[in-house]
Structure 1
Amino acid sequence: MFCNPGELRVEDLNVLAHINVFVDGRTQELPPYLDLTVNLLIDNQKFELCINLSHEYPDAEPDTFVRNHKLNKQQHANLNKDITDYIASLNRSEPCIFSAISWLQDNAHNYIVEEVEEQRIEKNETLVRYWIYSHHIYSKSKRREIVDLAHKLNITGFCMPGKPGLICIEGTTSDCNDWWQSIKSMNWKRIFCKISEECKDSSDNFLKFRAFDEKVFQNNNIKNNHMDMGELFKFLEDHQCGYIFKDIFGVEAKSSS
């Protein structure tokens, strides 16, 4: 099954090597989570089912989300919510990837509808900044989607993967809300907007970032993928956002030396 070239893609082949070493008993260190993508052709439309398997799978739900370049943001959100709800309805002790694929093959056509191109009416929109906290951000597919969608919507900020995960987005209210609705529709263990800030005046100094990038603050605790909080605080300070650290994490920051 899925033996044709390009149908099944493992995002990082080194993870497979780590898994084999662990299964063979040559190490007790847990391997990273497995990231894979299943490429499906359904009604002549290409769908990508991106999957992140934790160590607890199948007792824990896999992180999944679906992409199709012809679906708009709302269609993507509806599709990902429905497939997430379907996976959640299945028995947790049984593998569910094939069931999810079958569901997608049976239902994908319901989300492909021709849309009339809408013209956006330009107006003076309020600028906002959202600080989004996640239990973890490991999936490389999700991380790519977070960045790609931010670039598409001209949103600035950053994404810090690992455990915990932190995302900052800033831009117009409509663009940030579109981004947030699409991203939160993916399957997450826990993700929420912890703090929102709004530009109260016409100040040009509200936006703190020039682009949107992924930021990795390396920590020696590689096993658990924890980021260096001191380096994060320094990064926030460099962008005049150091004040937000205590509000997000509940502790005073300590700069890395």
Structure 2
Amino acid sequence: MHLFRSILVAVLAVTPVTVSALKPFRKELQKVPPLQSKQKSHDVKYFHEPGGDLELGHYDIRYFKQKVPYEQHRPALQHLIRSYLTTFRSLGVETWLAHGTLLGWWWNGRIMPWDYDLDVQVSAATLHYLGKNLNRTIHEYEYFDEKGAKKTKEYLLDINPHHSDVGRGDGQNVIDARWIDISNGMFIDITGLAERQPSGSPGVWSCKNFHRYRTTELYPMRQTEFEGVPATIPYAFDRILTDEYGTKSLVTTEWEGHRWEPELKEWVKTPKDQKTVQKTSPFVDSKNH
């Protein structure tokens, strides 16, 4: 088997306000063989989810055991994004926040507590590199919890073999890759952007799910932080967000049973007896799995 070596960084403790020091370490990464997915022979979809409701559509079926409770959900997603961003940075691989994850960054640099998964993007050239060199590698991630104890988690970088397809096809493989928590099946969706019509529409980048961006909206990328670790976002992030979600997404202060508290700069869960009904969502994720 091929072995890969990378330098990873232990990330911040998962608490609302407390963080711990960063600590680098080394880990050998071993390629794992393809896993058998629960799919029929005629099914060409690569990534599969348990399904049944919105939340169950956001777990990888190969590693799913049970739903992660609300109290543990955001910390698990924090580990996901921190491990992903620090690993890709240590490998020198460019990636940036996208969709609802980028919107969470805009509000307070954190994951919105009702999110079930996370979204990032890479270039098609980066996808090709990942598929050739790092596909199906397990990455170990160390961190310190709120009590100062060292913990370890493992994540799988899994590249969809359909990632090089130029078109959308039947829509079952619009997600090009995933960063998967193998302890519970939670994941980050990774989609690739490419100039799909360089002669007819030069400088227009798109994914397989019809999100389109101009080169000047993406570059030069901006360096920032997300969930306490270094992150990258597109240059025209405000235009990208309003094009995708509308201007209301930047000002609406109640959604999905949560209320924005400006003094705390946090989304706080609303007690059941205080919930108000909002008929339309400014936060609808327009991507289709």
Same fold (TM over 0.5): no
Question: Counting helix residues as a fraction of each chain, which structure ranks higher?
Answer: 1
Structure number, greater radius of gyration: 1
User: Which structure has greater strand proportion?
Assistant: 2
Higher RCO (C-alpha 8 Å, min separation 6): 2
TM-score by length of 2: 0.28
